Structure 1
């Protein structure tokens, strides 16, 4: 058997161009097949690890997925804000253990700015109930201090003590910046692999202070200097959303119903896990479509290999006849062609897997920056290995057709040139 494999390898080397093109065809199909699977699983893992130990998220009346996306993943915007008094009423209910207010709407050089309070650093959890930690510095305490995520510090090369300017709205333009009110960086959070890394955190009071003199996104009035504002006390009138941790999980559905029926303003309370499941349900059709497309690409790649082998077989009929004349039995010819098909498939899988990891290594930072999805370069999972095994088996099955055809060729047929 080893002699046949060695002969198959030499035969492929003798037909390098055809073999390389076949390997590339199989490799591209493997890249797409594994790439779709990797991105799908990594996206789910990245989203699922973003928030932990939060029982309810409350925002203005809207769809569950929309509320989850803007409050946790910083994707999109709220349909409306909610009153500060509503937040306080709910936060002081006996069922509530802790509450984290969130105010969104501003930005800094492409990164979202979030107003919150000290409870955010105390109670927010991600991954497997992991708390936020500081790689440098500490939480903000005064009005114009800020804590930045690890990606913000890395991408913009910020250090403790640096000053930053926040812009009004998502678009950071010169006319929207609060130029006379710089914030000093007092803390840099340790990496979490979540949207926290891409967020600039300030106090709720600071959000109110920098918008003095602003109305409907326009700077219409005079904004006092930093020193003047620091002498005042600011309390938010509205916030975007807030997160709740309860004393008992049993109270979750009862409190959710109570908040959804809140009579002072229309509110929505969602369970993060259920909203995330709904999001995956919405994406399942796209996932299945991508997997089907990937499957067809693999089939196309294998059919290309079959075409190559069958075409090459017509050109190699004299070679097969010579092997038979030298004592090779029909089964040896059969296993020779089978070995070639298996080697081509295996090489295609190996090259495709290598290309996939190179592409992921190059594109992971871009995907993370643009979409907030962290793609980790992990080893092949059991499911990935099963997919590759299926491709390998399919390559062997494809090799049966030219192998059986060669098996039936006779010496006389091979020695006779047919025009």
Structure 2
């Protein structure tokens, strides 16, 4: 029974640890970014397409608006992001080298390269870890981008291939599933396009694109870091009241908490299921001890005959059940610590969850104490049953 309780505790505390760590890492998906700016929409939608590459932006930001914001005295750095194209199911992100310099995630970690480095030429591309792994790309490989966020049925920019010059280390974020190119590249591949389709009879070869003005006209979103976080609300108000066009600036932490509350029912459901598993384990403990009382009737009767009162028998059975619960809980705690030690690298690499091996959260300790307290209460049931067994009943032989 101790093993059964240990497994139940591992599941309960494991779900709680993952829930706590996942929520903390979720809130730090863009650690160090003070504001996320986009066209006027809902904060959740802005975070979904600007950070998680989910959905599409309803409107774009003019390049002039970005320059006005980036040149504001309170702004330390600004990362422009242009979305809309794809490559074999992966999002294409148009940005600048500032993306690799200032973007932070988790507990302030910066992006790192497993091979190569940032793009330097127009048709250079930096790919995420998932893109490289799933498509088998290496440095020097050439890729062709698709027009539009989805690959199905859309034309390709086949006349302007890109060369892979960098592969990012795995982060567990949408960065791993993205192809990063320069903003000038986004403009270059669309020089001979209009209204979402190629211009009939016009084709500009890749070697001639530098003759054109490749300054971007529009952006999808902007990530902003301020010189001092004291002025974050003042800067947010400046952007939200920007007269050039309707813009929205959101604090990532606030928007992510709002987004997490939407999906919070899932984490609560998992926690309830784990609690039910623990309840089943404790119920099994009561059932086993009660079933064993039939075999221990003479043992209890002998204890009564040598002077042990009903209360002593009651306490012996209750303490026995409590010991099983405590041993099972401690075994589960040790098992969770060992499991987290081995699972931490995998969770960080594939899910982006920074699980601190051996560190148990305060909420997990509270759940562990609650399990022990509940175990003591259910142990009173077989103790009370033994209390009711009389001395005469125990000594009476059964036919």
TM-score, structure 2 as length reference: 0.82
Gaps spanning 5+ residues in structure 2: where?
none
Is 1:42 the equivalent of 2:18? Answer: no
What residue number does 1:210 align with? 189
Give me the whole-angstrom Cα distance separating, in 2, the residues matched to 1:44 and 1:127: 11
SS of 1:104 mapped into structure 2? coil
**Equivalent of residue 406 in structure 1, options 368, 386, 398:** 386
Whether the 8 Å contact between 2:318 and 2:376 is mirrored in structure 1 is: no
**Equivalent of residue 379 in structure 1, options 336, 358, 374:** 358
Whether the 8 Å contact between 2:28 and 2:253 is mirrored in structure 1 is: no
What residue number does 2:232 align with? 252
Is 1:343 the equivalent of 2:324? Answer: yes
Note the 1:203-282 alignment, pairs <5 A: 203-214=182-193, 218=197, 221=200, 223-229=203-209, 231-282=211-262
What residue number does 1:152 align with? 131
Q: 1:416 to 1:311 in 2, by over 3 A?
A: same
> RMSD across aligned C-alpha pairs, in angstroms?
3.7
Whether the 8 Å contact between 1:334 and 1:406 is mirrored in structure 2 is: no
Note the 1:8-407 alignment, pairs <5 A: 19=1, 23-24=3-4, 26=5, 29-173=8-152, 175-214=154-193, 218=197, 221=200, 223-229=203-209, 231-283=211-263, 287-288=267-268, 290-292=270-272, 294-318=274-298, 320-321=300-301, 329=308, 331=312, 334-335=315-316, 338-340=319-321, 342-343=323-324, 346-347=327-328, 350=331, 354=335, 373-374=352-353, 376=355, 378-383=357-362, 384-407=364-387
Shift of residue 307 of structure 1? 3.0
Whether the 8 Å contact between 2:344 and 2:355 is mirrored in structure 1 is: no
1:96-129, CA deviations, whole angstroms, 9 ceiling, x for partnerless residues? 3322110112233443221001222233333444
Give me the whole-angstrom Cα distance separating, in 1, the residues matched to 2:170 and 2:347: 17
Give me the whole-angstrom Cα distance separating, in 2, the residues matched to 1:397 and 1:129: 45
Give me the whole-angstrom Cα distance separating, in 2, the residues matched to 1:375 and 1:249: 25
Shift of residue 302 of structure 1? 2.1
Give me the whole-angstrom Cα distance separating, in 1, the residues matched to 2:36 and 2:69: 12
Q: Alignment length, in residue pairs?
A: 395
SS of 2:85 mapped into structure 1? strand
Whether the 8 Å contact between 2:171 and 2:352 is mirrored in structure 1 is: no
Whether the 8 Å contact between 1:46 and 1:373 is mirrored in structure 2 is: yes
Shift of residue 391 of structure 1? 1.1
Whether the 8 Å contact between 1:34 and 1:356 is mirrored in structure 2 is: no
Whether the 8 Å contact between 2:337 and 2:357 is mirrored in structure 1 is: no
Q: 1:220 to 1:343 in 2, by over 3 A?
A: farther
Gaps spanning 5+ residues in structure 1: where?
1-18
Shift of residue 240 of structure 1? 0.5
Give me the whole-angstrom Cα distance separating, in 2, the residues matched to 1:122 and 1:202: 15
Whether the 8 Å contact between 2:347 and 2:355 is mirrored in structure 1 is: no
SS of 1:98 mapped into structure 2? strand
Give me the whole-angstrom Cα distance separating, in 2, the residues matched to 1:174 and 1:365: 36
Q: 1:398 to 1:232 in 2, by over 3 A?
A: same
Shift of residue 356 of structure 1? 10
Whether the 8 Å contact between 1:95 and 1:247 is mirrored in structure 2 is: yes
Select between 389-398 and 332-341 the one with higher mean Cα deviation: 332-341
Q: 1:280 to 1:119 in 2, by over 3 A?
A: same
1:201-252, CA deviations, whole angstroms, 9 ceiling, x for partnerless residues? 1011212223345556555646544334355442222211012223443433
Shift of residue 407 of structure 1? 3.9
Give me the whole-angstrom Cα distance separating, in 2, the residues matched to 1:365 and 1:276: 24
SS of 1:200 mapped into structure 2? strand
Give me the whole-angstrom Cα distance separating, in 1, the residues matched to 2:353 and 2:152: 28
Select between 47-56 and 343-352 the one with higher mean Cα deviation: 343-352
Give me the whole-angstrom Cα distance separating, in 1, the residues matched to 2:85 and 2:335: 41
TM-score, structure 1 as length reference: 0.78
1:316-349, CA deviations, whole angstroms, 9 ceiling, x for partnerless residues? 4345446767x69464685356325532663377
Give me the whole-angstrom Cα distance separating, in 2, the residues matched to 1:83 and 1:339: 72
